[in-house]
A and B are shown apart, each in its own frame.
Chain A
Amino acid sequence: MEKEHQSDRHLVKSVLEGNTSSFKHIISNTQALVMQIIFKMIGNQQDREDLIQEVYLKVFNKLSGFKFNSKLSTWIGTIAYNTSINYLQKNSIQTIDVHDDDYDNLVASIRDGSLNIGENSIALQILQSERGEMLQKEIGKLSPIYRTIISLYHMEELSYKEISEITQLPEGTLKSYLFRARKKLRENILINYKKEDL
């Protein structure tokens, strides 16, 4: 962690001293995180590319204001997240599902035990066989915030604290969103399995 902070300081100082090429290192260190956020929040490919550029230009212009209160990557992640949220709000795209009938019905069926054990086995089989493609498809059906939180936690392996800093969501809310997102993802796999009658 301390090593990471020193490397952050070195890079930021270098860029602020006018060595713009050091910014390339900042991009390569953070591109996976930035792309994970933008790709999960934004559906349109052209807009994604524009937003990635916008994020890094903002980072460059605001770099002197970075106070080292967090990791540089977390700060850049916050900029990427806020830029995406602004884009979604500007385009009137809902960032989170408030209500979902299919989901609520499934939750009810699990609570009352009417969803039998066989269906869980099927979900397990799908996850073990169809793998990536199916999962990608189902993740794509979640709301942007759920997609992002799941990706940051499971793919980027960030801690609750880091995701909380990026999304500015309290840790309790974040955990509840993550639990709900995973639950919904699993339920979606079950629903679609039934729909497609595999």
Chain B
Amino acid sequence: MKPIHPDDDSIQKYALEQETCDKEVIQHLSSCAYCQEIAETYRAMANELKAQEKPVLSSQLEDQIMRRIMSQKVQKLPVRLYGLAGPLFVLIVGLASLIISTLASGVKNLVALEHLSLYVIIGIGICVTVLLAIDIIKTHQYHMNKISFS
């Protein structure tokens, strides 16, 4: 009757990660010269792989990489200013409406009650723009602090 050997994965586990190996496999290998030989080849292979020389980046290639990086625009964490686009648009529309309206009715009527709605729009536009700008700057600072080691 042919002996039943453990599969190759189990022998590899025995040779290289014995702590994860089943008791039955350990027991079998302790008395099986055939499987022991296989396990030994895996150990020898692992040792040889570990001893292989590691590739090293040539200084020429490293300089080339650094030159390409230096030639790029210095990269900084982007400040996400596009969030201001909406309120700035409202502000510009409000101001443009006010100018057109003033030109049509004369400078004297600049403080007339009919312009109240425009002032409200412009006021809201200014407030939202300022608040968003503060928020964007704070978020940027938060991200910078997050990557800073303390």
Interface residues of A (CB under 8 A from B): 6, 9-10, 12-13, 15-18, 20, 23-24, 27, 31-32, 35-36, 39, 49, 52-53, 56-57, 60-61, 63-64, 68, 107, 110, 112-113, 117, 120-121, 123-124, 127-128, 131-132, 135-136, 150-151, 154-155, 157, 179, 182-183, 185-186
Contacts and interface: CB of A to CB of B under 8 A. Distances in A.
Interface residues of B, number: 44
B45 A68 contact: no
A57 B72 CA distance: 9
Interface string B1-44: 01101001100100000000000000000000110011011101
A113 B32 CA distance: 13
Contact of A31 (B33, B46, B57): B57
A16 B38 CA distance: 51
B87 to A, nearest CB: 25
Contacts of B147: 9, 12-13, 16, 68
B114 to A, nearest CB: 49
A169 B11 CA distance: 23
Q: Which of B33, B65, B76 has the most CB of A within 10 A?
A: B65
A186 B49 CA distance: 12
A180 to B, nearest CB: 9
B113 interface: no
B37 A27 contact: no
Interface string B39-70: 01110111011111111110001101110111
A107 B38 CA distance: 13
Contacts of A123: 41
